[in-house]
């Protein structure tokens, strides 16, 4: 359960670190994508297999953009990362709160863990 939650954050956190001064559109898009993942997870909180299927479909559809955002995030300075954290703190906390109950329930589901591996 916690391993899956940590994997979600590890996969998405680098994507969220696209600095606004590098590209405010990329930073906003990264946060929107994380919100979408949280919605997919929350929507399927009562059916772990459906959650895994929906996550896999979302990851497949957005794989190229996720990879682009992750790569862009690698080039950020500590200052840029802090600026992002300051700007998007509330939204990022809301993402975590939205998906954690469902991940606690479905975090060990094979379809969910397999889907999350696609974002590596």
| 17 within domain boundaries | no
Dihedral sign for Cα 20, 33, 96, 76, please.
negative
Lowest-confidence segment of 4-8, 28-32, 55-59, 67-71 by average pLDDT: 4-8
| 18 within domain boundaries | no
Domain of residue 38, residue span:
2-12+24-117
> Average per-residue pLDDT in the chain?
82
| 19 within domain boundaries | no
Q: How confident is the model at residue 41 (pLDDT cuts 50, 70, 90)?
A: very high
Count structural domains, the chain.
1
| 98 within domain boundaries | yes
| 56 within domain boundaries | yes
pTM to 2 decimal places: 0.79
Mean pLDDT of 4-13: 53
Mean pLDDT of 103-110: 93
Give yes or no for residue 57 having a pLDDT over 70.
yes
Give yes or no for residue 93 having a pLDDT over 80.
yes
CB hemisphere CA count around 33 (13 angstroms): 29
| 58 within domain boundaries | yes
| 104 within domain boundaries | yes
> The tokens 């696209």 sit on which residue?
18
pLDDT of residue 106: 94
pLDDT of residue 80: 81
| 80 within domain boundaries | yes
């Amino acid at each position: 359960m916690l391993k899956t939650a940590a994997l979600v954050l590890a996969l998405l956190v680098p994507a969220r670190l696209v600095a606004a001064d590098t590209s405010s559109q990329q930073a906003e898009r990264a946060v929107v994508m994380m919100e979408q993942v949280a919605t997919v997870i929350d929507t399927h909180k009562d059916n772990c297999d459906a959650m895994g299927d929906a996550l896999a479909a979302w990851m497949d559809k957005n794989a190229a953009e996720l990879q682009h955002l992750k790569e862009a995030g690698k080039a950020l300075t500590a200052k840029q990362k802090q600026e992002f954290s300051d700007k998007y703190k509330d939204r990022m906390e809301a993402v975590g709160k939205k998906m954690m109950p469902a991940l606690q329930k479905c975090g060990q589901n094979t379809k969910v863990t397999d889907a999350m591996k696609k974002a590596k």
